[in-house]
Chain A
Amino acid sequence: MSEAILSSPTVDSRRRKALGFLRELWHDKAGFLGATFLLVLVMTALLAPLIAPHDPSDQELVKRLLPPFWEERGSWEHPLGTDGLGRDLLSRLIFGSRISLLVGVAVVVIAGFVGVLLGLVAGYRGGKIDRIIMRTVDTQIAFPGLLIAILLASLIGPSVRTVIVVLAVNGWMIYARLTRGVVLSVKETAYVEAAEVIGCRPQRVMFKHILPNLTAPLSTLAVLEFARIVLAEAALSYLGVGVKRTDISWGLDVASGQDFVFNSWWLVVMPGVVISLTVLSVNLVASWLRVVVDPSEREKRHALRQIRSLR
């Protein structure tokens, strides 16, 4: 049986795959910039105590409402100025990244876990369980999230934990819907049927055969949701139903800066810019991710580059 096998061995196929992804990222300039910014953000959050020039909670009423360094009254001691209580804005922004990232990751993980699990069961089992779960999804979506936030904040008081709970309770449904959709279509493929015919139990079929198909769509969704959560936390904190007033959050900064917005514009603009850049970067990375996990899209891009280089 002298038939050649078409492709190369599997040993370094994973490494080649990873390198391939990075190369694609390099070609997608926007995605690359976004990823770079996010990397910087993560490093900032991790190394906050080392990077921040001052203690973010340190009040120096003498030095209140100082402008950024490029203005007349500003100085390099407080590069982005100070707020109404004399706290250094740059340090607050640096420490604020911690909450944003923490909340973002925590909510995506919790909501994602619950949503994917429910979506898997609903899609695979079908029938009554499917109907019950989907009806729950529909009901929950109809509920106004803000109302839940206000309710919970008044019940258990605002805090990081509250924010995470509120956003998770409000955010699992989209994962469930997506998962169920993918499961319904994958369920019909021959290799899933093959697994059942061999005698695999339902759990094995769900986790070993169906679940891996979700990596691509889920990763794109998770990244986009992350952006939405960062924004949502800022909004909730701004409204006063998010984190504690003594925590450090970009949203809180915007809220407290409101009162001084006409004379001390930097107190609102700086946190706003940081929030925007974060959300923008995440969306750029999500765009790149969407293309990179779709093999046919990658082929097309590759072909285009090849043909252009031939000319």
Chain B
Amino acid sequence: MSGTEVPERSAILEVDQLKVNFYTRRGVVQAVRGVSFDVYSGEVLGLVGESGSGKSVTSQAIMGLTELPGKVISGDIRWKGSSLVRGSGSRELMRRVRGREISMVFQDPMTSLNPVFTIGNQMVEATRRHLGLTKKAARERAAEMLGLVGISNPRRRLDQHPGEFSGGMRQRVLIAMALSCEPDLLIADEPTTALDVTIQAQILELLAELKSELDLSVLLITHDLGVVAGMCDRVAVMYGGRLAEIGSADELYATPTHPYSRGLLLSTPRLDDVRPRLVSIEGAPPDLVNPPAGCPFTPRCARASDRCSDEDAELREFAQGRSVACWHPVMPDDEREGM
């Protein structure tokens, strides 16, 4: 799928003004402060941000995994039109949907798998519960999935323990587990961050193949702009608990409008970079215990004005499929005219 088209299909996941707080002794950390975006069927959406951006908290909230001291305090998350957090049926829906229609793959394959049970045991548990398969059928399916993710001798491997797999293989197993119930959406939270770069390339290639074979939607959460460039159709950039910019990958990388997106792209070290010195963004992300009233990026922004520190900008659509939350965005036309 080319990265320049806006998907015409419907939104299967809608995140609507989500707010998540963490009640710590230091104070109330407003980790997510009104985030809204949609994931369309058949697309890969990249959620990009650095530490403190709120991206992981967002993905955990979508899966209903927000734990103390965190709590979803307002906003909505809708799956195929029905709410997962509000209303009487939402808890039941979340339980039904989680693991079956929405699956998740986490960062660290070492801690996501129980070292005591065999891989087969853990994979079978999921399909039996969600799809009601018999033990034999579930085992068949598990072997099939292991083969799909490129693990040789799948039947033999089913009887092995996680400790007998390397990091990359474990991540493949997690992906196999996540896909065994044929989900519509896969949420991958930093799936390759803990892996070596050559293994990362293998896993990303695998995800791309699986995505087209199974017509899967993917919400890819990461801080690595290189990974996003290779995988994603659309990209959403988060900063300070809010969305800074969202748009198609090709367009956003070519003409980033939000000063943070621009700074992030400029400061990402590139293999083909021959500049004499690396560029960075001065300063550090804001402390979300006392979030600023205005735009969180203001203290680090070269284009900031008084309005920026007083008033936070809302996400505004300025072109087909492209939105930015900024009072002084760098418009694509400005750039072309060399401004």
Contact = CB atoms under 8 A, between A and B. Distances in A.
Q: Do A and B touch directly, given a CB cutoff of 8 Å in the complex?
A: yes
Interface of A: 1-4, 6-7, 20, 298-300, 302-304, 306-307
Interface stretch (B18-26, B186-194, B209-217): B18-26
B68 interface: yes
Given A1-B282, A6-B287, A299 B69 contact: yes
B287 A303 contact: no
A302 B283 contact: no
A300 B299 contact: no
Interface in B1-36: 22-26, 28
A48 B161 CA distance: 65
Q: Which 8 A-B pairs have the closest CB atoms?
A: A303-B69, A303-B23, A306-B23, A303-B68, A302-B25, A3-B284, A3-B283, A300-B68
20 contacts: A2-B282, A2-B283, A3-B282, A3-B284, A4-B287, A6-B287, A300-B69, A302-B23, A302-B24, A302-B69, A303-B23, A303-B24, A303-B69, A303-B70, A304-B68, A306-B23, A306-B69, A307-B23, A307-B68, A307-B71
A20 B71 CA distance: 23
Given A299-B24, A303-B23, 12 more contacts: A3-B282, A4-B287, A20-B25, A298-B25, A302-B24, A303-B68, A303-B69, A303-B71, A304-B68, A306-B69, A307-B68, A307-B71
Contacts of A20: 25
A13 to B, nearest CB: 12
Contacts of B70: 303
Interface of B: 22-26, 28, 68-71, 282-284, 287, 299
A300 B284 CA distance: 27
Contacts of A6: 287
Contacts of A302: 23-25, 69
Most buried by A among B24, B69, B70: B69
Most buried by A among B23, B282, B287: B23
Contacts of A7: 26
Contacts, number: 37
Contacts of B283: 2-3
A300 B23 CA distance: 9
A20 B28 CA distance: 17
Given A2-B299, A304-B68, A307-B71, A299 B25 contact: yes
Contacts of B23: 302-303, 306-307
Contacts of B69: 299-300, 302-303, 306
Contacts of B68: 300, 303-304, 307
A65 B122 CA distance: 70
B221 to A, nearest CB: 24
A4 B283 CA distance: 8
Contacts of B299: 2, 4
Contacts of A3: 282-284
Contacts of A1: 282
Contacts of B22: 303
Nearest to A7: B26
A1 B25 CA distance: 29
Most buried by B among A4, A303, A304: A303
Nearest to B289: A6
A1 B283 CA distance: 7
A207 B94 CA distance: 51
B94 to A, nearest CB: 19
A144 to B, nearest CB: 37
A7 B22 CA distance: 17
B290 to A, nearest CB: 10
Contacts of A300: 68-69
Nearest to A302: B25
A4 B26 CA distance: 16
Nearest to B284: A3
A3 B284 CA distance: 6
Nearest to A1: B282
A121 B240 CA distance: 47
A4 B298 CA distance: 13
A304 B71 CA distance: 10
A199 B85 CA distance: 55
A303 to B, nearest CB: 3
A299 B70 CA distance: 10
A300 B24 CA distance: 8
B114 to A, nearest CB: 22
A88 to B, nearest CB: 50
Contacts of B28: 306
B298 to A, nearest CB: 12
Contacts of B25: 20, 298-299, 302
A298 B69 CA distance: 10
B302 to A, nearest CB: 13
Contacts of A4: 284, 287, 299
A16 to B, nearest CB: 10
Nearest to A303: B69
